[in-house]
């Protein structure tokens, strides 16, 4: 029988498995805290558990660790990008960012991505599999351990589409915020989606308190379907309707991500259409100068983003230009990859 991935279990599940194995239920909380508070990932080091039970735990459970394959530090800011090897040999990337208020981490939710957005490096090598809750969580635990920092914000904006791995992502969120475990308020978490409409409704029902970010990138169906294939299934009107529902149900403002790309979505007309589309919605627009992906030829003129923001502002739409961090180590939005070989091609940053 396969061993059970203990780091993907919530406290109730752990209690039930221990009870089914003839153990006392209260042991579950002790073990849960060893894992999620003390971050001890070796049953032999759980010193208040009897030697017999530790042995039994080793027979029943496995601890799904990940290993640092490579670490790159930006020369421009304090951003650090980790390439983590998973227990099956696949890779994911994780980015640690430093802000004035503390550290924020960008985690991956899948190995590769199915969504095929034209401007995004994560889509280039295709999709392998979704991550387990433990594999998303361990990106945080391992990065905190390595960097010696406490992460105060989490963004689900790394490789993969979080709403295409809905159940595991929701489980990850419940573990991340568990009061007997890591206990991070989901107010400090943002989940970014390319717009899988039915799952936005599902997420709204859960009322988790996190910030929903929607990667919009184009104000009309024709243009959006060209750069984001998901739009051929879920058109903009249905996406906006789902966002309105999310805002109604959760009381939270939605963020729209918009990577400004010269000659694709950056004209005055695009800004006007975007303003019309979002008028009256409780939202914020995050403009991103498109980050370089070597296989693609997309650019943004710096002045283009500022002009776009100004034009939106004049039409009553609240927009900010997102600061790009870690672009010299390909750690910026849309630059993460599932492929270890790609890392050998990087020039910038210090390779550890
Ligand atoms: N699949 C999710 C999360 C991963 S991408 C999503 O689509 O939202 C995180 C953010 O980076 C998204 O807003 C995405 O559209 C954006 N992005 C992708 N490639 C980019 C690029 N080359 N430049 C700037 N932003 C990019």
Q: How far is CA 303 from the centre of its chain?
A: 29
205 given a catalytic annotation: no
Residues with CB under 6 A from ligand 1: 115, 117, 119-120, 157, 161, 192-194, 215, 257, 259, 288, 290-291, 293, 333-334
The CA-atom distances, in angstroms, between 228 and each of 175, 254, 282 are 31, 20, 24
- Tell me if 159 sits within 8 A of 8, measured CB to CB: no
Q: Is the pLDDT of residue 326 over 60?
A: yes
CA–centroid distance, 46 to ligand 1, in Å, is 40
Over residues 136-161, the pLDDT tens digits come to 999 999 999 999 999 999 999 999 99
HEC string for 238-279 = HHHHHHHHHHHHHCCCEEEEEEECCCCCCCHHHHHHHHHHHC
Q: Is the pLDDT of residue 92 over 50?
A: yes
Provide the pLDDT for residue 346.
43
Q: Is the pLDDT of residue 344 over 70?
A: no
**Closest residue to atom 7 of ligand 1, CA basis:** 194
61 contacts: CB under 8 Å, gap ≥ 6: 3, 4, 5, 6, 43
Provide the pLDDT for residue 301.
78
Q: Is the pLDDT of residue 319 over 80?
A: yes
333 given a catalytic annotation: yes
DSSP strands (E only) in 131-197? 151-156, 189-193
245 contacts: CB under 8 Å, gap ≥ 6: 200, 201, 204
């Amino acid at each position: 029988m396969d061993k059970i991935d203990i780091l993907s279990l919530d406290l109730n599940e752990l209690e039930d498995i221990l009870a089914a194995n003839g153990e006392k239920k209260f042991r579950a909380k002790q073990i849960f805290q060893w894992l999620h508070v003390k971050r001890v990932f070796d049953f032999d080091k759980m010193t208040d558990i009897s030697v017999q039970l530790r042995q039994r735990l080793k027979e029943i459970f496995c601890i799904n660790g990940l290993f640092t394959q490579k670490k790159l530090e930006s020369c421009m800011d304090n951003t650090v990008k980790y390439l983590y090897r998973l227990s099956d040999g696949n890779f994911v990337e994780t980015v640690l960012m430093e802000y004035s208020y503390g550290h924020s981490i960008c985690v991956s939710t899948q190995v590769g991505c199915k969504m095929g957005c034209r401007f995004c490096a994560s889509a280039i090598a295709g999709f392998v599999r979704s991550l387990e809750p433990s594999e998303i969580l361990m990106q945080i635990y391992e990065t905190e351990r390595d960097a010696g920092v406490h992460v105060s914000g989490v963004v689900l904006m790394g490789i993969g589409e979080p709403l295409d791995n809905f159940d595991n992502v929701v489980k990850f969120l419940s573990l991340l915020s568990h009061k007997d475990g890591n206990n991070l308020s989901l107010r400090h978490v943002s989940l970014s989606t390319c717009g899988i409409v039915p799952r936005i409704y599902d997420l709204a029902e859960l009322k988790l308190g996190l910030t929903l970010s929607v990667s919009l990138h184009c104000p009309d169906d024709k243009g959006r379907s060209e750069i984001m294939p998901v739009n051929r299934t879920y058109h903009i009107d249905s996406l906006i309707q789902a966002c309105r529902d999310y805002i109604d149900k959760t009381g939270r403002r939605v963020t729209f991500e918009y990577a400004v790309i010269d000659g694709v979505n950056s004209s005055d007309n695009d800004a006007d259409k975007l303003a019309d589309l979002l008028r009256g919605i409780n939202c914020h627009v995050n403009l991103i100068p498109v980050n370089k992906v070597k296989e693609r030829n997309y650019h943004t003129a710096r002045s283009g983003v500022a002009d776009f923001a100004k034009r939106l502002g004049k039409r009553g739409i609240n927009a900010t230009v997102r600061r790009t961090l870690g672009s010299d180590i390909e750690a910026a939005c849309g630059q993460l990859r599932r492929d270890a070989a790609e890392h050998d091609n990087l020039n910038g940053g210090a390779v550890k």
